[in-house]
Structure 1
Amino acid sequence: MSRPLCCQNGFTCNTKGNKRMTADQYAWWRQALKLAGGYRELTHDQLLLLAPSADSPESGFFRNRPFKDAPLVPVAIWRDAAGNVICLQGGKEAEADKVWNYACRNPISEALYHSVTAGEPWPDEPPSVAKEHNLPPKTGDLHKDLTAELAAEKETVEGFLKKPISTQEQADQAGVWAKRLSGIANKADEQFNVEKRPWLDGGNAVDDKWRDLRTDSKDLAKKLKKHGEAWLKELDRLEQDRQRKAREDAARIQREAAEAARKADEAKAVPSVGTGLATDFAAEAAREADRLAHQLADAEREAQARPVFAGRTGAKMSLHTYWVANITDYGALVMALKDEPEVREAVQKIAGRIARNKDAALPAGMERVPDKRAA
């Protein structure tokens, strides 16, 4: 890999990568990169944790969309010896202030910056079907072009679905891929409606033409999300365990802090006589109480929930909580719903409808339970 950008621009680095300057201009980026985990998008809460504020461009490596729905491009920002802000976006000079609004949330490693600049794909980017399947040039016929694109996507997705997701990069790819397939479905839906509007009396022909394209792309998107569900649930389980342990640590530190505060109060009441040992003990007790108070604040922050997701902005895949019916006493439930027509066939459907309304009172014999699914 080529030398780091900080070295390419005249800054001397030691073996740890720290620049010998009056200040480390890459400190904010390093902290952001640590929170992001390499290339993942920072949440709003994570941005608030960073200091200084992310309101103005900071030196580092990022990725950005030059405009809506544009492909992601690598971004490098740094300050030269005179303090001038220099910004490269996709290898071309750009205005850092215009790039920063999106780029600040998307720090990447220097290695990834150079990799993408050299032509390698983003780690969360699904395979390019245009390259792998040698898609023909666009014909201008949206149906033919989307059909060819979907056929190529379908072949690649089916291979991907044969193996379980085992890495974060694969989970991210599934989320972005599902978004890409949903995009095909959306284009098909839009054109479908345009073509059908003048043909309300003869709409069946249009229905037949677009049915497979619309449903197959949506079904594949759903399969991709379902495929990533086990991975997301495991991440959710680990996060729940982490929060539980963090809460236990916070509770323990709280007890210790309370005990330290009590001892500090007792020490204050001891008269300062003789060699001053009582005074020293009181001061030490106060310092210990203050240390534990700060440690408690850190532990409480650690116990806060962290987001679990795959993909990126506009193509995120995360666990959503859906409320479904769990029938605990079928006989009691049937009796409670005895006035409904065809009770035995409809009872699960009715219970499901009730469960989805979280404010609805539950009849005897059922309960409302969460059901997390990839969405």
Structure 2
Amino acid sequence: MTADQYAWWRQALKLAGGYRELTHDQLLLLGPSADSPESGFFRNRPYKDAPLVPVAIWRDGSGTIFCLQNDKEAEADKVWNYACRNPITEALYRSVLAGEAWPDEPPSVSKDHNLPAKTGDLHKDLIVELSAEKETVEGFLKKPISTQEQADQAGVWAKRLAGIATKADEQFNVEKRPWLDGGNAVDDKWRDVRTDAKELAKKLKKHGEAWLKELDRQEQDRQRKAREDADRIRREAEAAAQRVADAARAAEEEQAQRNAMANPAGLAASFEQESQKEADLLEAEAEAKRLVQQVADADREAQPRSVFSGRTGAKVSLHTYWVASITDYDALVVALKHDPEVREAVEKVAGRIARNKDATLPAGMERIPDKRAA
């Protein structure tokens, strides 16, 4: 057992930012230790769609591993596959055990609205649940998102509302199947629940779009600065390597001169100079090696990082959509003059071309990215 059994968890926590889920690339940065349980505090989902619960893992002096999941004994190997991606602070672990909510968890409508007990009629129950969700969501949408916790809540909330829509869709299909000829009545019954839940989910994603775009801008700035640092360090490393090569060449030349000297006193002085220059050369070589390692570290720092809100199964990220940007309308019309929809549908035609990333662009237009929350 290492002197600091929590070292891996601290590094994971630093990458995660306190509670956010680690990406695949971040797990790779943490090394092979991610393959087996490490000591620390995490959160886990015991089974599909189960609520998140806090997890603590530690080892005693003999190296025996212990694990508590939601304050109950558990097998570390069984929780690790999901928990390893979800490190949390000890303070958050203890606050959730004490009954506090996860920071990325949206408000609980059953708790805040004192919902009645479920009736067993899925349609009625979903209407009640959606009504409570809608009231809370509309209040949330009135203010811009200004923190990562709020952006994460919006993503998870959208997933929760999409779940209501999915339940409604499933039951809608079950009820409609025997009534294909008279399906209009079922359509009317379920339309509001299905469409309202989906629209609210879309609004939540759209609501977080400005925040995600700002994070994306910051990430682009970070990458640019990291690339500049990497280039600067690379130049320094190249200069250091050149200095080592020059020093080595000078040492060889001086050695040749010493070999030609016959004066013993002169030889002794030259040997002293040689020792000093060898020490200087070793120091220069060490500096060159250090700079080479810094170049590798700087290149890793310049790699892109994911920008998202929410968590697994409820992530919202910026997706790139290609849209048309007409730069020369007349030139574009000439290029498309044989198209039957020319003039009255130039925007439509250009948009269709833009969405096909492999299409050759005609004169007068260009393809530009349009990032949206999805």
- Normalized against structure 2, the TM-score is what? 0.92
1:17-51: CA deviation from partner (whole Å, max 9, x where unpaired): xxxx9722111111111111100111111111114
Higher relative contact order (CA 8 A, sep 6+): 2
Greater shift in the superposed pair: 198-207 or 88-97: 198-207
Q: Which runs of 5+ in 1 are unaligned?
A: 1-20
Q: 1:134 corresponds to which residue?
A: 114
Instruction: Determine if the alignment matches structure 1 residue 370 to structure 2 residue 350.
Output: no
Greater shift in the superposed pair: 66-75 or 23-32: 23-32
Return the letter of the residue paired with 2:335. Answer: A
Give, in whole Å, the separation in 2 of the partners of 1:39 and 1:342.
53
Q: 1:16 corresponds to which residue?
A: none
Matches within 5 A, 1:85-100: 85-100=65-80
Taking structure 1 as reference, are residues 319 and 289 closer, same or farther at Cα in structure 2, changes over 3 Å only?
same
Decide which of 248, 253, 264 is 2:233's aligned counterpart.
Answer: 253
Q: 1:355 corresponds to which residue?
A: 354
Give, in whole Å, the separation in 2 of the partners of 1:55 and 1:347.
55
Cα distance, 1:278 vs structure 2: 2.7
Return the letter of the residue paired with 2:88. Answer: I
State the secondary structure of the residue aligned to 1:323.
strand
> Conserved in 2, the CA contact under 8 Å of 1:228 and 1:374?
yes
Instruction: Determine if the alignment matches structure 1 residue 81 to structure 2 residue 61.
Output: yes
Q: Which runs of 5+ in 2 are unaligned?
A: 259-269
Give, in whole Å, the separation in 2 of the partners of 1:22 and 1:191.
54
Give, in whole Å, the separation in 1 of the partners of 2:339 and 2:297.
55
Give, in whole Å, the separation in 2 of the partners of 1:233 and 1:51.
31
Instruction: Determine if the alignment matches structure 1 residue 298 to structure 2 residue 278.
Output: no
Cα distance, 1:81 vs structure 2: 3.3
Decide which of 85, 108, 121 is 1:105's aligned counterpart.
Answer: 85
1:183-205: CA deviation from partner (whole Å, max 9, x where unpaired): 11111111112222222222211
> Conserved in 2, the CA contact under 8 Å of 1:28 and 1:52?
no
Q: 2:40 corresponds to which residue?
A: 60
Greater shift in the superposed pair: 246-255 or 82-91: 82-91
Matches within 5 A, 1:1-375: 23-51=3-31, 53-270=33-250, 271-272=254-255, 274=270, 275=272, 276=274, 277-375=276-374
> Conserved in 2, the CA contact under 8 Å of 1:28 and 1:51?
no
Greater shift in the superposed pair: 264-273 or 226-235: 264-273
> Conserved in 2, the CA contact under 8 Å of 1:176 and 1:312?
yes
Paired residues, what number?
Answer: 355
State the secondary structure of the residue aligned to 2:369.
strand
Greater shift in the superposed pair: 187-196 or 154-163: 187-196
Return the letter of the residue paired with 2:222. Answer: R
Give, in whole Å, the separation in 1 of the partners of 2:31 and 2:328.
56
Give, in whole Å, the separation in 2 of the partners of 1:98 and 1:349.
53
Give, in whole Å, the separation in 1 of the partners of 2:287 and 2:52.
50
Return the letter of the residue paired with 2:351. Answer: G
State the secondary structure of the residue aligned to 1:74.
strand
Give, in whole Å, the separation in 2 of the partners of 1:199 and 1:353.
38
Give the structure with the higher percent helix: 2
Identity among equivalent positions (%) equals 80
Rg larger in 1 or in 2?
Answer: 2
Return the letter of the residue paired with 2:231. Answer: A
Return the letter of the residue paired with 2:365. Answer: M
Greater shift in the superposed pair: 299-308 or 186-195: 186-195
State the secondary structure of the residue aligned to 1:345.
coil
Taking structure 1 as reference, are residues 324 and 258 closer, same or farther at Cα in structure 2, changes over 3 Å only?
same
State the secondary structure of the residue aligned to 2:33.
coil
Cα distance, 1:329 vs structure 2: 2.0
Cα distance, 1:334 vs structure 2: 2.7
Greater shift in the superposed pair: 188-197 or 124-133: 188-197
Taking structure 1 as reference, are residues 201 and 334 closer, same or farther at Cα in structure 2, changes over 3 Å only?
farther
Task: Kindly report the root-mean-square deviation, in angstroms, between the aligned alpha carbons of the 2 structures.
Answer: 1.5
Give, in whole Å, the separation in 2 of the partners of 1:99 and 1:22.
22
